[in-house]
Amino acid sequence: MSALPDPGATRAVLIGTSRYDHLEPLPAVSNNLTALAAALAEPSSWGLPPEHCVTLFNPTTAEMAMTAVRAAAEQARDTVLVYFAGHGLVDPENDLYLAMPQSRQQQVETGLPYRWLRQALLTGRAERCVVLLDCCYSGRALGSMGGPADLADQASVEGTFLLAAAAETRPALAPPGEPFTAFTGELLDTLQMGIPHGPELLEFGALYRHMRISLAAKGRPAPQARDRNTGAQLALGRNPAYLPATGSAPPADKNRASERSWPSPSGIRTVRGFFKALSDVRVTSGLTHQMVSQRSGGRVSAGTVSRLLNRENLPKTWQTTAAYLSACGVPDTQVAEWQAVWMRLLAETTIEAAAQPTVPRPSQEDNPTLMERLAGRLSRRNGRS
């Protein structure tokens, strides 16, 4: 079953090298990182807060990149995503290493061996890993970015989805004059425009198939993909081009609503994820705030819907959230699942709040009034005169 990750329990590390001392520069890489970070922050995608998405432009050492990857893999409980754009090189033993600014051909010690990154992901706490590799093998006159034929095999990580720009027989491209590399540009276009006649959520499996066809149609190298377990079902965002098969039936029709792919509360781990999924429910319903209010029979106003979806703390009572979910058309059985998640998160946050050390309020003796402070100043001034 496709799903978007919980943004509160998800981390991303975006690494890009555009400047090189000994290899051809790839200026489009900087645009890749900026645009992808913005896309991951969109509510229609993962809705990642800035502190959950680390962007490294031209890291000078492999240690800088690995420190960020290890931290993300340790902090993430849902999904960790690692993206690299730049030159990809192959050492004498045919192992992949990612080029840093001072990297040289055939000198693995000057770059970041992929096996280091892979091991960090394997030993992390995240349940799912995503690896996006938009990397080159050699500096070519037109900004080409190549890779070994078995790139996906080298980069495979258990429990992940790997999407790699390198094809088996052709290099990938960084087309001159274009703002992005071919691979990342196609990925960003798909997130923005969607997949016509595609699924409601942009699962990585569907993304790969669409990008492979689209890039080949443009005469550009097709990507490779490798997945483990259910990695292909993880979604990168909602499909803007999605059209429900139910035609023009009202979104809240009882029979039609039960057929919708409602966001599942089962993957929610944090309060942030709870409200992100609540917002996704309204998007799935196709209803405006005002329409939700009307369908609730007056139980929630449009303003209440807006305030509910923009809260940072869990509501202490369940009635408003239940009315909102029912008005959107969520089946009663799933509303009960939502309530169970709400109760669990409420209990967890209550325990966390109780565990926080209390800071004693200063007594009156430790917190003199304004008049007492003024009197002290006058006394000191008189003592100096």
**Cα–Cα distance between 224 and 250 in angstroms, integer?**
40
Name the phi and psi angles at 158, rounded to 5: -60, 135
**Cα–Cα distance between 236 and 4 in angstroms, integer?**
7
pLDDT the model gives residue 246: 46
Query: CA gyration radius for the chain?
Result: 26
pLDDT digits (tens, 9 = 90+) for 21-57: 999 999 999 999 999 999 999 999 999 999 999 999 9
**Cα–Cα distance between 320 and 95 in angstroms, integer?**
56
Eight-class DSSP state of 9:
G
Which pair of tokens denotes residue 144?
A: 């080409």
pLDDT digits (tens, 9 = 90+) for 279-318: 999 999 999 999 999 999 989 999 999 999 999 999 999 9
Closest CA to 156 of 103, 203, 96, 111: 96
Contact by Cβ (8 Å): 157, 163:
no
CA-CA distances (angstroms) from residue 110 to 103, 106, 113, 253, 284? Answer: 5, 9, 9, 61, 48
**Cα–Cα distance between 4 and 42 in angstroms, integer?**
12
Closest CA to 25 of 251, 183, 223, 181: 181
Contact by Cβ (8 Å): 209, 224:
no
Q: How far apart are the first and last CA of the chain?
A: 81
Residue with tokens 């990168």: 236
pLDDT digits (tens, 9 = 90+) for 148-171: 445 566 666 666 888 888 654 445
pLDDT the model gives residue 141: 22
Contact by Cβ (8 Å): 184, 34:
no
In this prediction, the residues of the chain whose per-residue pLDDT falls under 70 are: 1, 136-159, 166-172, 244-260, 358-385
Q: How many CB atoms lie within 10 A of CB 361?
A: 7
pLDDT the model gives residue 353: 79
CA-CA distances (angstroms) from residue 224 to 118, 205, 275? Answer: 17, 11, 35
pLDDT the model gives residue 384: 46
Residues facing residue 345 across a β-bridge: none
Which pair of tokens denotes residue 94?
A: 């045919």
Pair type for strands 172-173 and 144-145 = antiparallel
**Cα–Cα distance between 66 and 339 in angstroms, integer?**
40
Report the half-sphere exposure of 246 (CA within 13 A, side-chain side): 16
pLDDT the model gives residue 362: 53
Residues 6+ apart with CB under 8 A from 148: 90, 94, 96, 137, 154, 166
**Cα–Cα distance between 157 and 3 in angstroms, integer?**
20
Classify the phi-psi angles of 268: left when phi > 0, otherwise alpha if psi is within -120 to 50, otherwise beta. Answer: beta
Name the phi and psi angles at 52, rounded to 5: -100, 0
Contact by Cβ (8 Å): 220, 192:
no
Amino acid (one-letter) located at 367: N
Q: How many CB atoms lie within 10 A of CB 306?
A: 12
